[in-house]
Amino acid sequence: MAREIEGARHVAPVYQERGQIALGDQRAVGTVSDYFSMRDMRIEAGRPMLHSDIASGAAVGVLGAELAERLFGNRPPVGRIVRFQGQPVEVIGVLEKREDSALGEGQDEQIIAPVSFVQRHVVGVRHVQYLMIEAAAREDKPELRRDVEGYLTTVKRVPGTTGKVHTVTDFGEIASFAGMIVDAMSWILASIAGVSLVVGGIGVMNVMLASVSERVCEIGIRRAVGATAGQIKAQFLGEAALLTLLGGIFGLLLSAISLAVVGQFLPWPTVMDAGVVIGVVVFSTAIGGGFGYYPARKASSLSPMEALRYD
């Protein structure tokens, strides 16, 4: 097919099947050697599948890193035999660990074998479930899609089928759509966070206004002994900034504890970025300074004589 469709760099037929392999139910992916380069899979030990393996339907397979570790531990897996659905399969290679199984079954948990072997000896079929096609260049994708559509409409149909029996899906479009959803969710979360910050800032302003009302006499005494309006303003601004800074630090502590707990159940390490920590500290202080300005200005504008007479 790659030779018949101009603009196709790689074509990989795929047939996936779940079955028993020693420790439980696992997924076998029947495909060809181009599948490794299309999925950016790298061999850590042994070798990948060869064209001769595909042509002969050889009972060979490449294991994911975690599957190989569970099956053989510290022993070298290359050259050993595993059984998938009762069929002996020689391990010819092990993939580099990718840790991509958090949201599903990734390459670390599967065995990759020649599609001809899976078709003939495991499932007993002659068809494949889908074809992965990689364009030679990004700008060739629209034309390649039309060519693939045209090719698939001319191939021999399975007896008993009518109408369109195939669907061409562009994973780039799916990725773009997923990116749009992520961007939309990010804006929604940012909006919610913004509203929360405004509400919190108003709360800080109310607390500082109440503090000014309760400390009018203190302000009058400080002004009487020589404190300037600027010093009074700086004092209340500092108190407001310190209040929100302590809130930000408390939030960081809760985040660190949450990451430590959640990290016990995730396959990847959870770390708190230093830039995020610095950003939280600076932004928290800025919120306090911004919403604390009005109470600080009100405190600094009080007349010393009126403040001393305040009861």
Contact, 99 vs 270, CB < 8 A?
Answer: no
What is d(CA 100, CA 102) in angstroms, rounded to the nearest whole number? 6
**H helical segments located in the chain:** 34-38, 51-56, 65-72, 115-117, 141-154, 171-214, 216-224, 229-262, 274-291, 293-300, 304-309
Bridge partners for 132 per DSSP = 12
Query: What tokens does 80 get?
Result: 């050993």
Q: What is the pLDDT of residue 101?
A: 56
Q: What is the pLDDT of residue 159?
A: 57
Return the number of other C-beta atoms located less than 10 Å from residue 255's C-beta. Answer: 14
Distances 226 to 37, 220, 295, 297, 303 between C-alpha atoms, Å: 77, 10, 21, 18, 13
Q: What is the bridge-based pairing of β-strands 60-63 and 8-20?
A: unpaired
Give the residue from 32, 111, 37, 99 showing the smallest Cα distance to 72: 111
Contact, 241 vs 285, CB < 8 A?
Answer: yes
Q: What is the pLDDT of residue 27?
A: 75
Return the number of other C-beta atoms located less than 10 Å from residue 105's C-beta. Answer: 15
- Walk along the chain (311 residues) in steps of 10 and give the mean pLDDT of each run: 64 76 70 85 89 90 88 88 87 84 66 90 84 76 75 65 67 79 89 87 91 88 87 92 91 89 77 84 89 91 77 59
Q: What is the pLDDT of residue 276?
A: 82
Contact, 151 vs 5, CB < 8 A?
Answer: yes
Cα angle 62, 65, 69; round to 5? 110
Query: What tokens does 53 get?
Result: 């393996």
Q: What is the pLDDT of residue 188?
A: 93
Q: What is the pLDDT of residue 24?
A: 56
What is d(CA 217, CA 117) in angstroms, rounded to the nearest whole number? 90
What is d(CA 41, CA 38) in angstroms, rounded to the nearest whole number? 8
What is d(CA 302, CA 216) in angstroms, rounded to the nearest whole number? 8
Q: What is the pLDDT of residue 2?
A: 55
What residue spans define the domains of the chain?
11-135, 182-309
